[in-house]
Structure 1
Amino acid sequence: MGVFKKLAWFFAMRKWQYSFGVLMLMLVTILMLLPPKIIGAITDAIAEHTLTRTMLWQYIGALAVLAIVVYILRYYWRLFVFGSANYLAQVLREKLFRHFTRMNPTFYQKKRVGDLMAHATNDISAVQNTAGGGVLTLVDSLFSGTLVILMMAITIDWRLTLLALIPMPIVALSTQYYGKLLHKRFGGAQQAFSALNDKTQESITGMKVIKTFGQEQQDIADFRAKSETVVHENIRVAKIDALFDPTINIVIALSYLISLSYGAKLITEEQITVGDLIAFTTYLGMLIWPMLALGLLFNIVERGSASYDRIEALLEEPVDIVNAQHASTTKPSGDLSVALTSFTFPNATKPVLRDISFTIQAGQTLGIVGKTGAGKSALLKLLLREYDVNDGDILFGGKSIQQYTIQALRESIGYVPQEHFLFSASIYDNIAFANPQASQDDVYKAAQLAHIHEDILRLPQRYDTLVGERGVSLSGGQRQRISIARALLMTPELLILDDSLSAVDAKTEEAILQALKSVRQQATTIITSHRLSAIQHAHHILVLHEGRVVEQGTHAQLLALHGVYAEMYRLQQLEQIVEQGGDSA
């Protein structure tokens, strides 16, 4: 029952709804004790030949009134109790989603998308059922069971009641044992479902790659194996579920056997009437539900407890990047200064950045080049505070970026990542995502600056074209330019293009860079690229190698050094000549 203690915060939040719901549920239980007595009275009146038409209609009328009142009360207790349970699901989903938005990339490297989705669906449903069906079965089983037993003992015969209850401890012991097994096995079933969920999400997302390499059958076999694991784990849970009802039915059967045997003896001794025995067996029948509810309660509670433990474990994952005390909510602007002694990713042993130092003034463009793994993206992640600096500092507008709130910092940065993500929405909505209040003209202007406007107008639905999940219906260059337009719509103080022009041709690249130069004269831009043509116009260029700055300066200065940058430029010029020669052929 520990899950009810864990949910005490929610029961306190909805105390009035639960109080009214439980009160009405108890009233229903009390009213449901009256029909057996009425039936017993009718039976005795028939046996004694004292039943009149008026009495019969009075009894029928009483039963009808009871039915109407119980109907109304049941409607409202369900509204209060199950309505509150639905609200709990909403609260938990919002908590999880808010938690997801606060987590840094390390969290998503450890957690699988399918597993996170399973927490937000199956696990929350199990907890919701605990706050709804669990509360119902707890109150109903204890209150109605206790009242029925009291009615049997007080109004009929206490000795008969005690004998009928002899088999009941079997229920308590067995359900406690079954509950422990169920908790463990249901946790395993939820983990198996998470793995299947993750496999499904991954396969659907990567279907193009699966088909390209002809791995459909292998992927189906892998899916089948995970699906069979889910079935196996749920069958293990079902085997425990299946033990509850037979155990309770055996106990009820024993109680009936004892009651009828001893009840017949009491009738022959004229200590109770036939109507009393019928009423007693009717009450005994009413005990079936509380006992079944007790078994169901353990079932619901253990499932909910296992799922709530999984949700709690997820919510307890620490948030690594947090706002400093008294952090400024003003969006930063001005010069950008970086002075890093070293930076090491969490759980890594080797620094990825060392001795990085530079300053760019507002309105300038910084180019960053280097081989894959040189540390370009790591540096940008620090600027965005996806990670915090280990040794050193980054100043934006003369103040450490850790002295701004995370929201204020990121609202001043327009970031276009290497992996362009588009939502399953229209092109217009994807561009406007960065600034939902932007006018249509602003959206169009951003698209024009990114040189995607004409491409969009050639599409059948134009800006209303749905891009499909992750933008699968568009080319790589189109996705890149839509992502650039989305960032430009923010009119950010700092625009970061992380190798974001790799999928466009040289002519389009040059047009985009010229457009940026004309509209961002007072704002800072950082461009990382493998293609030097994207950064050669920059005011300052960093050449990274194994996490260090090996060269820096303007394009002309770096060429004059005849070092790493000059060699990269020479090789790319040769590649361009070869490509042009190929075209002319």
Structure 2
Amino acid sequence: MGIFKKLGWYFKAERKRYTLGIGFLILTAIINLIPPRILGMMADQIDTGSITWERFFTLIGAILSAAILLYLFRYLWRTQIWGGAAKLEWTMRSKLFWHFMQMDETFYQKHRTGDLMAHATNDLSAIQQVAGAGVLTLVDSIVTGGSTIIAMMIFVDWRLTLVAMIPMPFLAVMARVLGTKLHDAFGHSQAAFSKLNNKTQESISGVKVIKTFGQEKEDTAEFDQMVDKTIQINKRVFKLDSMFDPLTTLIIGATYVITIIYGGMLVANKTITIGQLISFISYISAMVWPMFAIGRLFNVLERGSASYDRVMELMNEQSLIKEVNEQPSKLATGDLTYEVERFAYPDEPEHTTLSNINFTLPMGKTLGLVGRVGAGKSTIIKLLMREFDNYTGSIKIGEKNIKDIPLDDLLHAIGYVPQNNFLFSTSIRDNIRFANIDAEQSQVEAAAKKSALHDDILQFPRNYNTLVGENGVSLSGGQKQRLAIARALLKDPEILILDDALSAVDAKTEETILGHLKEDRKDATTIISAHRLTSVMHADEILVINDGRIVEQGTHESLLASRGWYYEMWEKQQLEVKVGGEIDG
């Protein structure tokens, strides 16, 4: 029953709805007592031969009236209770989704997508059942069961009632023992479902790679093993769950046996009438649902409790990025000053990722970041975007520390284009104007032209209305990157960041895009991280990063003159271009 306490905040907020729903449930239980009583009266009058046609139709009319009231009250309690359950699911789903939106990168490194999806679907459905079927079965089993027992004692015989109820304590013991085991079993079942969901999501997302390397059979075998393991875990759940109904049926059968034997003796002794025994048996039939409901109740509550614990464990996790308590304001503009003494990722605090990164980028200038894979270029960008705050030092825009700028304001001022872009399953137009869905067609086309994508789009049958498919599956790698650049340019950010965002385009297209950027962003700040040095050769300042440190710094010409890593890499890349050109020729 602890799940009702956990959901107390919701039931308190919706107390009017649930008060009405439970009230109509109680009325339904009371009206349910009338037909068995009337049937008993009819049986006695028929047995004594005292019934008249007028009396017969009066009693039939009473039964029909009770049926109409039952229909009305059932409709009303269903509207209130099931409506409340649906609202709880909506509330929990909204809260969980908003929580996902607020969490930082560390959270998504810790939790896999399939697991989060399982929480947002399977677990929330189980919680919703508590506010619907859980409330129904709890109230119905108590009210219907209690009122029926009272009616049996008042309208029939208290001794027969007490004797017939002897098996009931065994039902309570069974529910308690099986309920405890079910809670643990459901927890393991939900965890197994999450793992299976993870595997499914991963395999579908990586199906091209799986096929390319001919690993279909191996991946399918691994999936089958996981399915078998999940089935074995669920078998324990089903085994425990399936024990409720047979045991309940056994207890109900024992109640019927006692009723027939002892009730028959009471009829023979003239203690009760045959009509009263018929009423009593009808009341026993009315007790079947409350008895079964107890088994169903523990099933729903234990599943809901396990799911609620899993969801709240997620909800209780806090983002490491702390928002400032300031009203939204326009982002401070000015020079970008980067003074980071040390940074380590939260999952590897002993490993220094960045050390002594100090530079100042004047407003309206372009910064180039180059270095080997894993040198720390992307990490520098992540800190600027406040994906992590646990560094020693400061990052300022103008005179304002970025930690003192509301996160929405900061990110609104930044246009970020990573190497691997995410595109939505909608049209090219809507993907470009994602940050400004009301942008006019002329603005969309202007952004596409700046990213050298406009001519490609015109080749598509539906032009800007072309659907890109899931994550841009219908586009090439270069087209995806250029679409993402167009999306960022349409936003017209104060700071544009290209994180190896030109890696999939050819040299000529790269030159065209960089030319547009140089012309279009004369007064705006641009940061370009790249492996291909031609991407940064026109930057006002270039930083060479190695092992999280700045090892070289200067313009393209000064770095070539110093004949360090930058010079060596430039010569190597120019030779590759020359050799490639000769081969093409």
Structure 1 residues without counterparts, runs of 5 or longer = none
Once the two structures are TM-superposed, the CA of residue 518 in structure 1 deviates from its matched residue by: 1.0
Report deviation, 1:331: 2.3
Number of the residue aligned with 2:402: 401
Deviation of 1:389 after TM superposition, in Å, equals 4.4
User: What does the per-residue CA deviation read over 1:255-275, in whole Å, with 9 as the maximum and x for residues that have no partner?
Assistant: 112222211221122111000
Deviation at 1:112, TM superposition (A): 1.1
Q: Deviations over 1:414-456 (max 9, x none)?
A: 0001211111111111111121121221111111111101101
C-alpha deviations, 1:185-213, integer Å up to 9, x for none?
11111111111111111111111101101
**Partner residue in 2 for 1:465:** 466
Q: Could you tell me which residue of structure 2 aligns to residue 23 of structure 1?
A: 23
Q: 1:389–1:277: structure 2 CA closer, same or farther, 3 Å change rule?
A: closer
Is the contact between residue 187 and residue 306 of structure 2 (CA under 8 Å) also seen in structure 1? yes
Q: Distance in 1 between matches of 2:340 and 2:390?
A: 8
Distance in 1, Cα, partners of 2:209 & 2:52: 83
What's the counterpart of residue 74 of structure 2? Answer: 74
**8 Å contact from structure 2 (residues 37, 155) kept in 1:** no
The answer as to 2:358 corresponding to 1:357 is yes
| 1:415 aligned counterpart, secondary structure | strand
For the 8 Å contact 2:376–2:546, the answer to whether it is kept is: yes
Instruction: Report the secondary structure of 1:473's partner residue.
Output: coil
Map 1:225-374 onto structure 2 (within 5 A): 225-326=225-326, 329-348=329-348, 349-374=350-375
Contact 1:432 1:486 in 2 (8 A): yes
Q: State whether residues 327 and 404 of structure 1, in contact with CA within 8 Å, keep that contact through their aligned partners in structure 2.
A: no
SS in 1 for 2:492: coil
Partner of 1:445: 446
253-262 vs 488-497, which moves further:
253-262
Aligned to 2:383: 382
Q: Which amino acid aligns with 2:490?
A: L
Q: Contact between 1:123 and 1:190, CA under 8 Å: does it hold in 2?
A: yes
- Note the alpha carbon deviations across 1:515-569, whole angstroms, 9 max, x for none: 0111111110000001110001000110111100011111111111111111111
Q: Deviations over 1:328-387 (max 9, x none)?
A: 532232211101111111021111111111111111000010000110000000000000
Q: Distance in 1 between matches of 2:386 and 2:300?
A: 43
Deviations 1:266-302 (A, max 9, x none): 1122111000111111111111111111111011100
Cα shift readout 1:74-117 (whole Å, capped 9, x = no counterpart):
11111110111011111111111111111111111111111111
Counterpart for residue 120 of structure 1: 120
* Percent of aligned pairs sharing the same letter: 51
1-side partners of 2:116 and 2:226: how far apart? 17
The aligned counterpart of 2:430 is 429
Give the CA deviation at 1:410.
0.2
* Local SS of the residue matching 1:419: coil
- Structure 1 residue 327: Cα displacement: 6.5
The aligned counterpart of 2:219 is 219
Normalized against structure 2, the TM-score is what?
Answer: 0.98
Point out 4+ residue stretches in structure 1 off by more than 6 angstroms: none
| Distance in 1, Cα, partners of 2:56 & 2:415 | 82
3-state DSSP class of the match of 2:338? Answer: strand
Instruction: Give, in whole Å, the separation in 2 of the partners of 1:60 and 1:525.
Output: 86
| Secondary structure at the counterpart of residue 177 of structure 1 | helix
Report if aligned partners of 1:332, 1:412 keep a CA contact under 8 Å in 2.
no
CA, structure 1 residues 389+296, in 2 after alignment: closer, same or farther (shift >3 Å)? closer
Q: Tell me if structure 2 keeps the 8 A contact 1:362–1:523.
A: yes
Return the alpha-carbon distance in structure 1 between the equivalents of residues 329 and 186 of structure 2.
45
User: What letter is aligned with 2:77?
Assistant: W
Q: Deviations over 1:206-265 (max 9, x none)?
A: 111011011111111111112222222222111111111111111111111222221122
Task: State the SS of the aligned residue for 1:340.
Answer: strand
Code of the residue aligned with 1:333 in structure 2: it is T
* Superposed counterparts of 1:539-558, under 5 Å: 539-558=540-559
Name 2:92's counterpart in structure 1. Answer: 92
- The amino acid that maps onto 1:536 is M
**d(CA) in 2 for partners of 1:365 and 1:389?**
26
Counterparts of residues 479-494 of structure 1 (less than 5 Å) = 479-494=480-495
Count residues in correspondence: 584
Answer whether contact 2:31 2:70 (CA < 8 A) is retained. Answer: yes
1:574 maps to a residue whose letter is L
What is the deviation of 1:324? 2.0
- In structure 2, the partner of 1:150 is 150
Look up the match of 1:523: 524
Give how far 1:15 is off: 1.2
2:206 alignment partner AA: G
| Paired residue secondary structure (1:517) | helix
What CA distance in whole angstroms lies between the structure 2 residues aligned with 1:219 and 1:572?
39
Q: By how many angstroms is 1:498 displaced?
A: 0.1
Q: Deviations over 1:10-38 (max 9, x none)?
A: 11121111111111111000000000000
- Does the 8 Å CA contact 1:344/1:350 hold for their aligned counterparts? yes
Residue type of the alignment partner of 2:567 = A
Please give the alpha-carbon distance, in whole angstroms, between the structure 1 residues aligned to 2:139 and 2:192.
33
Q: Secondary structure at the match of 1:118?
A: helix
- 1:564-583 residue pairs with structure 2 within 5 A? 564-583=565-584
Give unmatched runs, 5+ long, in structure 2: none
Q: How far apart, in 2, do the equivalents of 1:121 and 1:482 lie?
A: 32
In the other structure, the counterpart of 1:391 is: 392
- Structure 2 CA distance, aligned partners of 1:242 and 1:479? 52
- Bigger drift between 343-352 and 527-536 goes to 343-352
Q: What is the rounded CA distance, in whole Å, between the counterparts of 1:397 and 1:21 in structure 2?
A: 59
Contact 1:45 1:51 in 2 (8 A): yes
What code does the residue aligned with 1:266 have? L
**TM-score, reference length from structure 1:** 0.98
SS in 1 for 2:442: helix
Q: Distance in 2 between matches of 1:226 and 1:190?
A: 14
- CA shift for structure 1 position 67: 0.9
2:146 counterpart of 1:177: no
2:137 is equivalent to residue 137 of structure 1:
yes
> Does the Cα contact within 8 Å between 1:497 and 1:527 map onto a contact in 2?
yes
The DSSP-based 3-state class of the residue aligned with 1:451 is coil
Q: Please give the alpha-carbon distance, in whole angstroms, between the structure 2 residues aligned to 1:128 and 1:411.
A: 36
How far apart in 1 are the matches of 2:435 and 2:494? Answer: 14
How many angstroms apart in 2 are the aligned matches of 1:173 and 1:145? 17
2:419·2:502 contact (CA, 8 Å) conserved in 1?
A: no
Q: Which amino acid aligns with 2:163?
A: L
Q: How many angstroms apart in 2 are the aligned matches of 1:283 and 1:310?
A: 41
Question: Is the CA contact (8 Å cut-off) linking 1:332 and 1:408 kept in structure 2?
Answer: no
After superposition, the CA RMSD in angstroms is: 1.0
**2:320 maps to amino acid:** D
What SS does the aligned partner of 1:332 have?
A: coil
SS at match of 2:243: helix
In 1, the alpha carbon distance for the partners of 2:331 and 2:154 equals 75
SS at match of 1:489: helix
